[in-house]
Chains A and B, each alone.
Chain A
Amino acid sequence: MTGMTDRPTPVPAGLLFPVSGSNSSYLSRDDHRSVADGLRNKWDKSCPPRREYDVFCQAEDNGWRDNRPQLWGLEVGLRQLGKSGERSAKFPDPSNATDWWHGYPVSARDPKRAIEHRPKPELVRRWTDLGLISEVQRARINRGKV
C-alpha cells in the first residue's frame, strides 16, 4: 500500500497524511477519533489513524464507490473499525479537488442512517468477488445488518 511509508503531520484538525503515489491527501480528523466528545461517528481505539488511512487508501486504489459521491472502505472479514461496532467506513468526496479527504466508520444499523449507511449491492458484490467478505457477510450488508 502506497501510504505505508509516509509520515503524517499533525495539523489543528487532526493528523494529515500527504499525497502519496496514487493516493490523495487524507486527514484523520480528531473529531472522529474515539477520545473525542460529540456525537460524530468514531473510529475504535483499535483502529488508529494509520489503519484508518490504510482503509482509505484501499478504497481509493480500488475505486470502491456506488452511485453516491463517496468511497466505501472495509477490511478483510469485516473487522471492527468503529467504536460502536461499525465494520465499514465512508469517505465523502471532498467539495473541492484540493481539499483533504476524511472519513468515518458507519453502520446501516444507525437508527437515522439505515439507507445512507448501506452500500449498494453491486459494490458489495465486488467485495465478495475479491474474497474480502463471505457470501453470508455480503447478504447481511445488503440487508442492513452490518
Chain B
Amino acid sequence: MRWFNARLVDGPFEDAFIYRTSLYCWTFENRLRVYELTDLENAITQVGGPHGDFVNYGLFHAKGIGATSRQSMAWRRVAESDGFDATIDIPAEDVPYVEVALDLDASSLLDMLIFYDRLYFATDGGLFSLGSQGIEVNNRVHRPELRVSDPYYSASAGLGAVAASCGSKGLRLLLHDFDSEGRGTKSTKAAGESLRAELGYGSVVNFKSLTDYEFLVGATEKGPRGENILISTRRASKSFDGPSERLIEQDPPDYVLWDRSRLLVFVDGQGVSVGVDIRSDARPLGRSRTVVHYGGVLGSVLSAAVLKGAVSIEGEHAVAVVADNDETAVAPTGAVISMRTYPRSHRYKRLVTVTSETGLWMIGVGPDRRDAN
C-alpha cells in the first residue's frame, strides 16, 4: 500500500474537520480557522513539486471528484508505477486562511462536527451550532446558538439526527434537527451515561467508555429525499448472551466502534468484525472474523475509525492505517488530540485528518492498481 500525507506544521490546531471545500480548524486560542481547499492544494503543489498533484488527488479527490486533469494524470502515473511514499510539510501560516472568534460560554472544545452545512461544537459549556455560511470575513465574531446546556463530551450525526454525549448527564438526541419545519428544537434523553455515540443502520450505539456499548433500537421514517430519519429510540429488548458477547466479556478490548451493522472490536493487536443482527430488537451479536492485524505496530488503541478499504487506528504515539489486506502504513504523528475519517463523503473517503503534537496531518492511502483505470 502506498501512503502519503500533507502536514500543516507550526499551527495551533486542536481539532480539524474537512467539509465541502474547506478545512475547519479549531485553534488552541479557541478560534475557528478556515482554509480553502484551493489554497491548501496550491501550497502542497508548491512545496511538493511533481508529487503535489498526486497527493492533492489522493487526499481531496477520491474517484477524481473535483480533480484537475493534471492531478488525475499524476494519480494514474503513480498507480501504474511501483511503490511511492510522500510527506509534504507546509508551514500553517504560509497558507491563506480566515480566522474568526466564536462567542461561546465555555472554556474548552471537546469535539466538533459538521453536518448538513451546520457546525456543531461540543464544549464543557454545552452543545452549540452555527451555519457554515458567512464564515469568510477575518476576525468577525460569531455567536453560535446554544442547543443544549449540559457539558458535552462528543457529538455525532446520522439518520438526520445529532447525538450528543453528555457524560454522566446521559446521551441526548436532537431529532429532526434538519427539518425545514423546525421540529428539532428540543433534545431528548435517550440513555444514561454517555461518552460517545454512533448512529446508523436503524441503531444508535451508546458508549459509556472506550468499549462499553449499549444498543438503542431506532424507529425511522422516510425523509423528503427518501432517506431514513430517526424519530425515536428505545433500548434493545434484552441483553443478549451469545458466544460473541461472552468473548468480548472475557477478553476486554481496547476499543469498540459501530460501523455499518457491525461492531469493530480492537483487541490483542487485531481488529475483529462482529456482525449484529439489526432485524432483531435484541441486537444479538453474530459471527466474528478478524479483518485487520496491527500487533507489533501499535500498542494499545485509543481510537479507531473506518475509511475506504482500511481502518485508521490511533496508538499512543502514532496513527496506523491498516488496509483490508493487512498492508500497514504508520504515520509518526506523536501524541494525538483528534483523529477523523470521512467514510460518508465520496470525495474524502480515503482521507484521515489528525491533530497532534507534531501538527495537523492529512493522511491518504492508495492508489492500488485498480485505481489506475
Q: Which A residues lie at the B interface, using CB under 8 A?
A: 109, 111-115, 120-122, 124-125, 134-136, 138-140, 142-145
Contacts and interface: CB of A to CB of B under 8 A. Distances in A.
B108 A142 contact: yes
Contact of A120 (B124, B300, B336, B356): B124
A1 to B, nearest CB: 28
A111 B110 contact: no
A145 B319 CA distance: 14
Given A115-B167, A115-B208, A136-B356, 9 more contacts: A109-B302, A111-B212, A120-B124, A120-B151, A124-B108, A136-B335, A140-B335, A143-B110, A143-B338
Interface-central residue, B110, B193, B337, by most chain A CB under 10 Å: B337
Contact of B208 (A114, A140, A142): A114
Contacts of B335: 136, 140, 145
A139 B337 contact: yes
* Most chain B C-beta atoms within 10 Å of own C-beta, residue among A111, A112, A139: A139
Nearest to B110: A142
B252 interface: yes
A145 B195 CA distance: 13
Given A136-B357, A139-B14, A144 B195 contact: yes
B168 A125 contact: no
Give the secondary structure class of B's interface. loop
B195 A115 contact: yes
The interface centre, meaning the residue of A109, A120, A134, A145 with most chain B CB atoms within 10 A of its CB, is A145
A140 B28 CA distance: 12
B209 A121 contact: no
Contacts of A112: 209, 212
A138 B108 CA distance: 9
Nearest to A111: B209
Contacts of A135: 12, 14, 28
Contact of A111 (B108, B111, B252, B337): B252
B133 interface: no
Contacts of B28: 135, 139
Interface string B331-357: 000011110000000000000000111
A121 B168 contact: no
A124 to B, nearest CB: 7
Which of B108, B168, B212, B335 has the most CB atoms of chain A within a 10 A radius of its CB? B108
Contacts of A142: 108, 110, 124
A112 B195 CA distance: 12
B23 interface: no
Contacts of B168: 115
B108 A121 contact: yes
A143 B210 contact: no
B212 to A, nearest CB: 7
Given A140-B337, A142-B108, A115 B124 contact: no
